[in-house]
Structures are given as C-alpha cells and as structure tokens.
Amino acid sequence: EDKKRLSYAQKLDVAEHSVARRLLETAIAKQTNLIASADVMTTAELLDLADKVGPHIVALKTHIDIITDFDPDSTILPLKDLAAKHNFMLMEDRKFADIGNTQELQFSYGIYKISNWADFVTSQVIGGYDSLNCFRNVGVVAILGMSSKGTLTDAAYQAEALKVAQSHPNVIGGVSQKQIPEELLLFTPGVSIAETGDGKGQQYNTPEKVFADLQTDFIIVGRGIYKADHPEAAALNYKIAGWNAYTASL
C-alpha cells in the first residue's frame, strides 16, 4: 500500500524559500504539477510551445544553450511575457557542475545571462556546498540522481549529494528517481505515458508510477509534449494524468 504524502498545501505551510512557495502556490492555483521541457532549437519553436502549453504547466524548463538563434530581446523578453501571461515559472536546466567562481560567471555572464531571467536553475552538487552560494536570488534544484541508464549517481553519491542539498539555503529541491525527504521538493524527469526509453539511454516511467512510488512533486516531460502532433493537447493530457496521480497518492 502506498504511503501518505504531504499535499502541496501542507508543503506550502512549511516552505520558506520564495521560489518553492511560488511553485506550490502555482501548482495549487492551476491544479498542475507538470513541467514541460522545451528542448527545441529555435526561438520561434520555444515561444510557440510556451504559448500553447503555458495554461497547463507550473514551469517551463529550458536548455537555453540549445537555441540556435538566441537573442536576449527576441528570445527572453517574449518568453518572460508568456510566463507572466500564463502564470508559469522559468526553470533553466543548466546543470552547473564547476567551482563556485566559474558557476557565478556562467550564471550571470556570457550571452545567456541566466540570472536575469530564470526563476530557478538546476545544478550538480559535485562542486560541494560552497559552489552553490552564487545562486543567491534563485532557487536551486540539485541533481541528486539521473534518469539515464548507467548513471554514476549511485546510492552512496546520492546520500552525500542529499546532505549538501538539505543543508544549503539556496536549494529548494532535487531531481531524482528516488524518494527524497519531504522538506525538499522532488522533480522527476524521465516521464512518458507512451514510451519506456529513447534508444539513447533515457529511461521512462509513467506519471502514476512516479507519484505512487516516489511521492514526487513535479513531473518533467519533454518529447512526450513538444514532439507530439498537438503539444497543447499532450500537455493537457499530462497535466490531468499528473494531477490524478498526485491526488491518488494523498
């Protein structure tokens, strides 16, 4: 039998970080735990996808360095407008993995200037506790375990990574394929209703499974949405599946 989990409202009662609070408030208001991963290659595709799936998501996850025609004015400004229009947050999946000084430069400088627009970012914790100090004004989602076949994030690594995540005030949650302590928000990628893998190492579970087994908080779906014939309908489908799986796990 599945264990009881804390509801989003119960997590909101105890959440301290403003980004965690906004995520939980948005999830409750829009009745969605879906994060769409926009792994598309042009600004036009990114904005089109964001406008279509925006009503159904709590956050849009970007890999901004995949965009071939990135421009702060024509990519980021309209993306921020769409985030405001549809009330979703921007999660940049940069997976920082360096020393603090380098991460600080990567976070605020170069052409992407992530600190100017991302509400929260992903980061490896392999650089240790102090490497996360630079993410002062955003939330950090720590990469604890990966979804890919053969990942090196074994149990010993995850236990140590979790200690960093739990102790650092900038961290709001973790990416993992395992359950984590309930004071951290859990983000789970590798979610698909139709597929079990992609032939490139990715491993998928259904929304039902990740809510029942991991008590996850947010599902991250990429190709299941942006590669669908009708991304808006696919997003709605994942939104409903994710919300039903969440309520069933309460």
Catalytic residues: 93, 95, 98
The one among 103, 122, 215, 216 contacting ligand S5P by CB under 6 A? 122
Consecutive H or E run containing 80: helix 77-86
Helix (H, G, I), strand (E, B) or coil at 185: strand
Tokens representing residue 136 in the block: 């002062």
Please state, as a whole number, how many other Cβ atoms lie within 10 Å of the Cβ of residue 174: 27
Distance CA 111, CA 20 (A): 27
- Per-position x/- string for 83-102, each x denoting binding to ligand S5P as judged by CB under 6 A, each - no binding: ----------x---------
Question: 28 or 193, CB closer to ligand S5P?
Answer: 193
The one among 140, 175, 180, 219 contacting ligand S5P by CB under 6 A? 175
Question: 73 or 236, CB closer to ligand S5P?
Answer: 236
The answer to whether residue 37 forms part of the interface with ligand S5P (CB under 6 A) is: yes
Question: 12 or 63, CB closer to ligand S5P?
Answer: 63
Inter-residue contact 127 to 97 (CB < 8 Å):
yes
> CB of residue 202 vs ligand S5P: minimum separation in angstroms?
5
User: Would you list which residues are annotated within the binding site?
Assistant: 39, 61, 147, 202, 222-223
Any idea what the Cα angle at residue 132 is, between residues 131 and 138, rounded to 5°?
150
The one among 139, 173, 190, 242 contacting ligand S5P by CB under 6 A? 190
The one among 50, 162, 220, 241 contacting ligand S5P by CB under 6 A? 220
> CB of residue 221 vs ligand S5P: minimum separation in angstroms?
5
Length of the chain: 250
User: Given the structure tokens 């032939």, which residue do they identify?
Assistant: 199
Residues 6+ apart with CB under 8 A from 100: 127, 130, 131, 132, 133, 134
- Residue whose Cβ sits closest to ligand S5P: 222
Distance CA 217, CA 229 (A): 27
Please state, as a whole number, how many other Cβ atoms lie within 10 Å of the Cβ of residue 201: 12
Distance CA 168, CA 109 (A): 23
Question: According to CB under 6 A, which residues from 44 to 63 bind ligand S5P?
Answer: 63
> CB of residue 13 vs ligand S5P: minimum separation in angstroms?
27
The answer to whether residue 222 forms part of the interface with ligand S5P (CB under 6 A) is: yes
The one among 25, 39, 45, 51 contacting ligand S5P by CB under 6 A? 39
Task: Spell 61-74 as b/e; 16+ CB within 10 A means b.
Answer: bbbbeebeebeeee
Among the residue ranges 51-59, 126-134, 205-213, 218-226, the one whose residues contact ligand S5P (CB under 6 A): 218-226
| Residue ranges in contact with ligand S5P by CB under 6 A | 37, 39, 63, 93, 122, 146-147, 175, 189-190, 202, 220-224
